[in-house]
Structures are given as structure tokens and as C-alpha cells.
Amino acid sequence: MVKANISLPTWSTRDGGLDLENLEVKLAELETELLEINANNEKLQHTYNELVEYKLVLEKVGEFFSSAQNNVVARQRELKVQPIIETSIDSPLLMEQEATCLGKHIKLGFISGLVTREKSIPFERTLFRATRGNVFLKQAIVDHKVRDPLSGDKVMYSKV
């Protein structure tokens, strides 16, 4: 220090130049504040990742339902245009049933969500067994990796 001509300030603890107790209190406050900021950041990241998943689910479900609605509208137009054929032994029974049951409503339910690609086949089997085979499963592959809210890793998902 002498060779570089750097002079050191002289502090006196008697004069109150450096109060270690106040410095320790201030550092403790800053540490707790930093820990709180880190915890809030983790919560925000977790919430953001969940919202990204919800957004993907809503986009894909909207595509499924809009295509299904378009198919139903096209089928109803088709049935209105076709004249009802006289019943005979040769006529298919399904067309007669469709023509007479247009006004009946069938109660169907649906499940939508994101499943990792590795778990999509076991999930499909579980649904099939749980519904005793009465399931129509339609999947779409999510194009990009999404961060898993639980593990924090980026994972490829299939939308069910």
C-alpha cells in the first residue's frame, strides 16, 4: 500500500465512525427481504407455468369443440337436405334412427388437460378401464416444451 501511495482511512470506534451493531441489523433486514423476494419469485414462476398450461389447454379444447361444432352443423344441414327415405327392409337402420332422434339430447362429459408424453398411454389405458371402454380419446401434441410447475423442468406434453 505504501508503494502505490494509497492511504488507508483511520476509523475510530470511539468516534462512532463505524457502528457494527447497526450494520449487523441492516444486513439482517436485507437478508430477510432478499429471502422474501426469492420466495415470491418462485411463487410467481409456479403460477406463470400453471397459467401457460391452462392457456394451452383452452386453445386446444377450443380447436376440438369448434371442429366438432362445425361437423354437427354440416351433418344437420345434410340431414335437412336429404329427404327421409321410406322405411324398407333394405334401408339402413342407422339413418332412420338419426332422422327420428335429431331432437333428443345425449349427455356427454369431457376431460381436458395436459399429460406428459411418457404418461399418455398409461393415462389412456386408465381412462379406458375406468369407463369400461366407453371413452373417445382425442389427443393433440403440444409443439413446444412447457415448464412443469411441480418439478420446474421443461417437458413435452400431450393434450388430452
Cell representation of residue 48: 406463470
pTM exceeds 0.75, yes or no: no
Question: What's the CA dihedral at 38, 42, 45, 47 to 10 degrees?
Answer: -130
Q: Where are the domains of the chain?
A: 20-159
Predicted pLDDT of residue 104: 64
Angstrom distance (rounded) from CA 86 to CA 97 = 13
User: Using CA atoms, how far apart are residues 159 and 116, in angstroms rounded to an integer?
Assistant: 8
Distance CA 47, CA 149 (A): 8
Least confident residue range of 13-22, 67-76, 147-156: 13-22
66 versus 15: which is more confidently predicted?
A: 66
Q: Cell match 345434410: residue?
A: 78
| Confidence at residue 71, expressed as pLDDT on a 0 to 100 scale | 72
CB 156 within 8 A of CB 116: yes
Cell reading at 16: 462512532
Question: CB atoms < 10 A from the CB of 41, how many?
Answer: 10
**Arithmetic mean of pLDDT, 129-134:** 86
**pLDDT surpassing 70 at residue 11:** no
Question: How buried is 118 (Cβ within 10 angstroms: 0-12 exposed, 13-18 middle, 19+ buried)?
Answer: exposed
- Given a contact cutoff of 8 angstroms between Cβ atoms, the answer to whether 141 and 158 are in contact is yes
Residue 43 pLDDT class (50, 70, 90 cuts)? very high
Mean pLDDT taken over the chain: 76
Q: Which three cell numbers stand for residue 155?
A: 417437458
Q: What is the pLDDT of residue 115?
A: 83
The stretch 21-29 carries a mean pLDDT of 91
Q: Does the pLDDT value for residue 98 go beyond 60?
A: no
Residue 56 grid cell? 394451452
Mean pLDDT is lowest, of 3-17, 53-67, 80-94, 100-114, for 80-94
Minimal CA–CA distance to 148: which of 60, 55, 46?
46
